[in-house]
Amino acid sequence: MRKSKNKKNQRGNKVKIKIGTQVRERPSWDQYFMSIARLASTRSTCLRRQVGAVIVKEKKILATGYNGAPMGLKHCLDIGCLREELGIPSGERHELCRATHAEQNAIVQAATFGVSIKDSIIYSTTHPCILCSKLLINAGISRIIIEDSYPDEMSRQMLDEAGVEIIIIGQDTKERKRGEGKRK
């Protein structure tokens, strides 16, 4: 017989569930989707940063993405990283990156299959860069949930101006920090 203490948790904390004599923690929706974004990041072929993204609407996954070379092209794993060779710091000179970013790939995946992502949420292991932020704004993403920051102040400012809410959740943190913006 199954007994459960599965109360709604407004703060995104794990909920303890008792099944028979075993007790396990059930992840919140945010933790669940972020773990899928982390799993997507394991497919990354970038030598510098492995990023995964999941686009969700009404608790349903619409698309996923990870950073890597465009389809059919050689990966940085195979030919090296130009940005690394030139000593370009993270967050600068995106045009010299061979990879398509995780958020971009998730948007393209949705578009390829005709899936609208307007008013959806994206879970990303890293704060989006300015290029991804502009795409997310135009795609109508209403909320971005991230696990890690990224050195791109212009991205933060533009997302705030557009009213896109940013929420930071850590891999093991129970608290959520809310960004300034709310989509108008």
| Residues involved in catalysis | 103
In the three-class reduction of DSSP (H, G, I as helix; E, B as strand; rest coil), residue 105 is classed as helix
Angle, vertex CA 181, rays to CA 131 and CA 152, nearest 5: 35
Structure tokens at 108: 């393209």
Give the position of tokens 């008013």.
119
Instruction: Give the contacts of 43 (CB within 8 A, at least 6 positions apart).
Output: 52, 66, 68
Distance CA 126, CA 155 (A): 12
The answer for residues whose C-beta is within 8 angstroms of residue 8's C-beta and 6 or more apart is: none
DSSP conformational letter for 117: -
Two structure tokens written together for 40: 């997507």
Nearest one of 51, 58, 70 to 116, comparing CA atoms: 58
